[in-house]
Amino acid sequence: MITLKTKLLLFAVAVIIGAIFYLEDAKSIPSGDQEVIEIAKEDSSVVKKMRYPEARELSGIAGYLNTDDKEIKIADLIGKKVILLDFWTYSCINCQRTLPYITGWHEKYKDQGLEIIGIHTPEFEFEKVKDNVQKAIDKWGIEYPVVQDNDFGTWQAYGNRYWPRKYLIDIDGFVVYDHIGEGGYEETERVIQEALKERSVKLAMEEDIADDIIEVESDLVSGGRVNTPELYFGAWRNDAYAGDKRVIGTQTLEEPTDPKLNILYLVGEWNIQKEYAEAISEDAKIVLKYSSQDVFAVVASDAEETVEVNRDNQSVGKEGGVDIGVGGLNIDIGERLYRIIEDTQSAEHILEINTFNGMKFYAFTFG
C-alpha cells in the first residue's frame, strides 16, 4: 500500500520533471526572440510556484475606507490587476515617510493596472478607530482602498512583523516582491513596472508602461545615525523605563541628577497603563538622554495646550520639529505623532518635556 508520504514525494518529483521539460522546450524554440522565451517561461504556474509564494486573502477586516464601505477581495483582482499591499499604521513615522511614494505610484499607475491596498494594522488601540484612520487618509491624500486589519488577521496571514512593509502580487497571484521598512523606492517602482508590463502582455493590451522613476518632494526625510531605539511608555513594553517596569498603576519618580543614555525618566506622578503613561501632577515632566538626529512622540490629549520643551537646558530653537512653535510643543485634541526635534545631524542630547494633567505619552521614535 502506497503511503501518503510516498504519494507526496512522487508528486513533487513529477512537478520538478515537468518544469525541466517545460524549460527545455522553451530553449528549443527556433530563432525565437529571447524576450518571448522568457515570457513563456514565466507563464508557467509550475515555475512560479517553485519560486514565489501565492497571495493570501484579506482576513478579519474590521472596516473598509475609500471603497464606499464595500468589501474588497484579492481573489477578485488576480488575473486582472497587479496588486501592491502596503502594511502601515498612521502614527508610525517610518510609514508616514513612505506614503508620498505610494500615493505617487497610485496616481501614476492606477490607469495601467496597478491596484494599491493599504493594510492598516494598528500598533495602539486608538489606531483601531475608523474616524482616526479616515483623518490620516485625508491628511496624506490617500485615494486607494484602505482596510482595517484591527485584529492582525491579514498581518498574520502574510507572516508580517514590520511597519511598513510592501508586498507586490503579480497578474497570476504570486507574491513576486516584498520590501521591509523605508527606502528601496526606485527598486520597488522598477518591479512594479515589470509586473505591469507582464500584465499587458498576458492580457494582450497595448499599455505604454513608463520607465521613469517618480520624484517625491517631502519634508519628511530620514535622519542621520540613530543610537536610541524606540521607547515605550506603557507597562506592556516599557523596558527602558527608570521606574517599575511592566507594572500598571500610579508611580512617582524624582528628577535624575545624571540621566543615563536611552533610559526614560518620568518625573512627578504618573498613571502607568498598558499602552501609555498619563501625567497626573502639575510638576510631571519627561527627561530623556538620547542619541539621534530627530525625535518624534506619539501623544494623546483631550485639550489643546502648549508645553515647554528644553534641550540641554535651553528652549528648543531652530532644531525644533514642525510641531514646535512659540512657547514649545503645540498639542492638539486627539492622538497622533508629533515631530519634536528635526536637527541637521545626530548627537547626544538631554531632552526635557513639561506636561499637563491628562497628557498621555505612548512612544518615542527616532530618526
pLDDT per residue as tens digits for the range 257-310: 999 999 999 999 999 999 999 999 999 999 999 999 999 999 999 999 999 999
Last residue of a domain, one of 181, 202, 223: 202
Number of structural domains the chain divides into: 2
Is the pLDDT at 33 greater than 50? The verdict is: no
6 occurs within a structural domain: no
Task: Output 213 or 223, whichever has higher pLDDT.
Answer: 213
Could you give the CA distance from residue 75 to residue 70 in angstroms, rounded to a whole number? 15
330 occurs within a structural domain: yes
Which pLDDT band holds residue 39 (cuts at 50, 70, 90)?
low
Is the pLDDT at 20 greater than 70? The verdict is: no
Q: What is the CATH number of the domain that holds 185?
A: 3.40.30.10
Which pLDDT band holds residue 28 (cuts at 50, 70, 90)?
very low
72 occurs within a structural domain: yes
User: Is residue 198 domain-shared with residue 242, that is, in the same domain?
Assistant: no
User: Is residue 294 domain-shared with residue 176, that is, in the same domain?
Assistant: no
Most confident range (mean pLDDT) of 21-30, 167-176, 221-230 is 167-176
221 occurs within a structural domain: no
Which pLDDT band holds residue 218 (cuts at 50, 70, 90)?
confident
Q: Which domain holds residue 362?
A: 231-366
User: Is residue 193 domain-shared with residue 119, that is, in the same domain?
Assistant: yes
Which region among 38-42, 71-75, 141-145, 177-181 has the lowest average model confidence (pLDDT)? 38-42
Nearest CA to 22 among 47, 39, 50? Answer: 47
172 occurs within a structural domain: yes
Q: What is the CATH number of the domain that holds 349?
A: 2.60.120.260
Which region among 10-24, 105-119, 162-176, 181-195 has the lowest average model confidence (pLDDT)? 10-24
Is the pLDDT at 24 greater than 50? The verdict is: no
User: Is residue 51 domain-shared with residue 196, that is, in the same domain?
Assistant: yes
216 occurs within a structural domain: no
99 occurs within a structural domain: yes
- Mean pLDDT computed over every residue of the chain: 90
Which region among 91-100, 221-230, 322-331 has the lowest average model confidence (pLDDT)? 221-230
User: Is residue 62 domain-shared with residue 110, that is, in the same domain?
Assistant: yes
User: Is residue 170 domain-shared with residue 98, that is, in the same domain?
Assistant: yes
User: Is residue 161 domain-shared with residue 23, that is, in the same domain?
Assistant: yes
2 occurs within a structural domain: no
User: Is residue 156 domain-shared with residue 119, that is, in the same domain?
Assistant: yes
User: Is residue 188 domain-shared with residue 256, that is, in the same domain?
Assistant: no
User: Is residue 48 domain-shared with residue 168, that is, in the same domain?
Assistant: yes
User: Is residue 331 domain-shared with residue 193, that is, in the same domain?
Assistant: no
Task: Output 4 or 339, whichever has higher pLDDT.
Answer: 339
Is the pLDDT at 46 greater than 90? The verdict is: no
User: Is residue 236 domain-shared with residue 131, that is, in the same domain?
Assistant: no
Phi, psi at 124, each rounded to 5°: -120, 160
pLDDT score of 34 = 54
